[in-house]
Amino acid sequence: MKKHNFYAGPAILPQMAIDNTIEALKDFAGTGISLASISHRSKEFVAVMAEAESLFKELLNIPDGYSVIFVGGGASLQFAMVPFNLMKKKAAYLNTGEWSSKAIKEAKMFGDVVEIRGKDFSYIPKNFDVPQDVDYFHITTNNTIFGTEIREDFDCKVPLVADMSSDIFSRPVDVSKYALIYGGAQKNLAPAGVTFAIVRNDILGKVEHKIPTMLNYKTHIDKESMYNTPPVIPVYTAVQTLKWIKEMGGVAAIEKLNIAKAQLLYNEIDRNKLFRGTVAEEDRSIMNVCFVLNDEFKEFEDEFGKFASARGLVGIKGHRSVGGFRASLYNALELESVQALVTAMQEFETQKN
């Protein structure tokens, strides 16, 4: 039975990226040495790191004046690195869910934080004002737990910082509108273990306090992500994923496929008598589709989970903090898998009506 992987992260990757990584683990670049055993200083792996940066810049059309680095620690470490490097006195944060809440918690250790949020996380706040006296404004573009997404590039008069862990490369981005974009790679790019940061160089070096060496963006920019041993295997897999995106026609082509997948599933959620969506329609994520059973069918939640699992649908259980169901439609997920989920929902509806 084919497995349809809807896990929220670590998540589905292109089969090409997996296969190429497997081969490299056996024999990397014809060296006769496994990728897991190769020196990160070898000319073969240095070339991989350079290719990773080059493909990032090409696929996202990153303008001059930006650096791309690859580090460890996940987006969770970036929650501290951002204020450490950028906050002099005060920053503003748009709180749209659990991950932005965690970023705010870290930022408060470094200065004042102006928090912008709605009454709950079922929608993206609108028509808010960003204070002009802050050092930067931070957003989390995709809310993996609650299923909302910011699908526009804000015009912002202060430096704009974005956590794009779960929707990077899912749509074209005007990088020139951002001072810094970062994200963990384990959704749309690579296995867990590598974190990317796209940094506009001129925002650095403006804080007066000292920054620990490993938490300083300039350290990694100056050493081309080689100050310490990088996460070699995830970086290699990321390059394979980036090559796959290029072969698929680039980010614009990927976005078209992602919209088609999301529309197919949302249309079924809206039609099906058993289910309903949990977020405002205008803010629905195309990466993480969250839904629940209607109140009169709530007793069938566990049953539907088992029903889906028996059909090869894995990873659709909602986050433990909110329950319900969540189907993550990351770039590598095929339309066939979404159709399989829709079919299961239709069959379950027939059983219960």
> pLDDT value at position 5?
98
pTM for the model stands at 0.97
In a domain, 10, yes or no: no
Tell me the CATH number at 298: 3.90.1150.10
> Would you say residue 268 has pLDDT above 90?
yes
Cβ atoms within 10 Å, residue 299 = 9
Q: What rounded mean pLDDT belongs to the chain?
A: 97
- What's the domain range around 312? 250-352
70, 234, 21, 334 alpha-carbon torsion, rounded to 10°:
-100
Whether the CB-CB separation of 74 and 184 falls below 8 Å is answered with yes
Whether the CB-CB separation of 196 and 56 falls below 8 Å is answered with yes
Question: Region 256-265: what's the mean pLDDT?
Answer: 98
Asked whether residue 31 falls in the same domain as residue 163, the answer is yes
Rounded Cα distance between 86 and 53, Å, is 23
E strand residue ranges, 22-133: 66-71, 90-95, 112-117
pLDDT band of 320, cuts 50, 70, 90:
confident
> Would you say residue 18 has pLDDT above 90?
yes
> Would you say residue 107 has pLDDT above 90?
yes
Asked whether residue 153 falls in the same domain as residue 266, the answer is no
- Among residues 224, 247, 270, the one where a domain terminates is 247
> pLDDT value at position 216?
98
Asked whether residue 124 falls in the same domain as residue 273, the answer is no
Residue numbers annotated as active site: 99, 163, 187
Q: Which helix (H) or strand (E) holds 4?
A: strand 4-5
Burial class of residue 108 (count of CB atoms within 10 Å of its CB; 0-12, 13-18, 19+):
middle
> Would you say residue 323 has pLDDT above 90?
no
> Would you say residue 353 has pLDDT above 90?
no
pLDDT tens digits, 81-99: 999 999 999 999 999 999 9
pLDDT tens digits, 194-230: 999 999 999 999 999 999 999 999 999 999 999 999 9
In a domain, 6, yes or no: no
- Tokens 């928090």 sit at which residue? 115
- Is residue 125 reached through a cis peptide bond, with omega within 30 degrees of 0 on the bond before it? no
> Would you say residue 321 has pLDDT above 90?
no
- Among residues 186, 212, 247, the one where a domain terminates is 247
Residue 6: which residues within 8 A CB-CB, separation 6 or more? Answer: 12, 313, 314, 315, 316, 326, 327, 328, 329, 333, 337, 341
> pLDDT value at position 96?
98
> pLDDT value at position 1?
85
> How many structural domains comprise the chain?
2
Asked whether residue 189 falls in the same domain as residue 233, the answer is yes
The tokens describing 184, both together, are: 């963990």
Question: Region 18-36: what's the mean pLDDT?
Answer: 98
- Among residues 223, 247, 271, the one where a domain terminates is 247
Asked whether residue 185 falls in the same domain as residue 292, the answer is no
Rounded Cα distance between 110 and 120, Å, is 26
Asked whether residue 222 falls in the same domain as residue 288, the answer is no
